[in-house]
Amino acid sequence: MKFYQLKPEQRREILQSEGINLEDIDDQVLNRLDKLSENVVGQLRLPLGVVQNFLLNGQSYMVPMAVEEPSVVAAANHGAHIFARNGGVKATSKRTGIYGQIVLKVNHDFSLPDLKKKFPDLIDLANKEFASLIRHGGGTRSIEAERKGDLVYLKVLVDPAEAMGANKTNSILEFLAAKLKQFPGIEEKLFAILSNYPSQLTKATVTLDPKTMGGRKVAERVALLSKIGYEDPYRAVTNNKGIMNGVDAVLIATGNDYRAIESATAVLASQDGHYRSLSKWTMQDGKLVGELTLPMAIGVVGGSIKARKDVQQSFAILGKEINSAKLAEIIVSVGLANNLAALLAISTVGIQAGHMKLQARNIVSELDASDEEKKKVLAQIIKQKDYSESYAQAVLKQIREGK
């Protein structure tokens, strides 16, 4: 049998026979994971943290974040606290659909105007074939086409309802491509697959009183950093990474495809041919106004979401009645909160100081020491601002020697 055909226990035995140490895992968990992926031999766990009292559109949420970096969760909570003091975030989500592409090779017998006349019929056929999507509020919405030499590019807009919609969209595209092959002048289908081009855009905005975040000078510094990020790609890419720290953590916690969102945001950041910050902070009438627009082709059903107990735990934290639009608004708003916290850190004490204090906890957690000893070591290394493992060990030794 091939490796992928083996049971996960057998795969683990092979790796262990080669001297690879594997972490213990419950058999039921292992077999459940085996149904979600390929060549499964174990699991990789991430801590699940929460953002408390995230005030969005007048409603308070507790937001799950799956990430191994404590500063990301701390930053989201810090930003959320400032937002709440200013009435929270306002967000809107346009879930018009996701795009799919069909590219056809054609000859001299092909007529694009004649093909366009068939589009209404093709849409009706697709919606009849995929009637279950219609029942859930989605469906194929439109088809556009353009010809470039002997190639025809079709752009199909599919409303996936409450799912991310990748699999359903691909099925619809293959169905349409099969119908199109019967049209005169079409020689072959080159591909029919969804595009991760930015769609399902969600926008979050917040208006902050400078008094709630360190004063006017700090607010003006945040606005200046935002301006630099808009003009300078070296700053922009790091600014956007800070945004995606929060965004990715919630996407992972809710079982959504963070890789697709990352790809789409990279395109959005380069729309005018110049890579720019995704967020924008400006001073308006004495207030600091922040806004962030991101593509959010996500779902609350479909894929492995219902099959994963850890993801369902995240939705339980979020609360009832979370649909795709609300989740998108939460995710983008968290990204804005992380962005503000990072800009504030840069504007004041510098971002590294906060990072290292949180990193100190990781160093201390690895010490072979009692909880009381770890507490004393942590306090000392933060006081001395020496976050090396060797210093932590030296402090522990001094504590045990009574020094």
> What per-residue confidence (pLDDT) applies to 363?
79
For the segment 21-33, the average pLDDT, to the nearest whole number, is: 93
What local confidence, expressed as pLDDT, does residue 359 receive? 66
What tens digit of pLDDT does each residue of 38-75 get? 999 999 999 999 999 999 999 999 999 999 999 999 99
Whether residue 394 has pLDDT greater than 90: no
Query: What's the pLDDT tens digit per position in 206-227?
Result: 999 999 998 999 999 999 999 9
Place of tokens 């949180």: 358
Mean pLDDT throughout 228-239?
Answer: 96
Note the pTM of the prediction, 2 decimals.
0.86
Active-site residue numbers? 69, 241, 257, 355
Q: What is the pLDDT of residue 386?
A: 75
Report whether pLDDT(137) > 60: yes
Most confident of the ranges 316-320, 358-362, 398-402: 316-320
Q: What is the mean pLDDT of residues 354-379?
A: 74
pLDDT for res 323 = 95
Give the model's confidence band at 233: pLDDT under 50 very low, under 70 low, under 90 confident, else very high: very high
Level-2 CATH architecture, domain 51-92+200-348 = Alpha-Beta Complex (3.90)
Question: CATH topology for 98-194?
Answer: Alpha-Beta Plaits (3.30.70)
Which band of pLDDT confidence, cut at 50, 70 and 90, is reported for residue 356?
low
Euclidean distance between CA atoms 244 and 13, whole angstroms: 38
pLDDT tens digit string along 254-303? 999 999 999 999 999 999 999 999 999 999 999 999 999 999 999 999 88
For the chain, give the mean pLDDT.
92
The domain segmentation of the chain, as residue ranges, is 3-34, 51-92+200-348, 98-194, 355-400
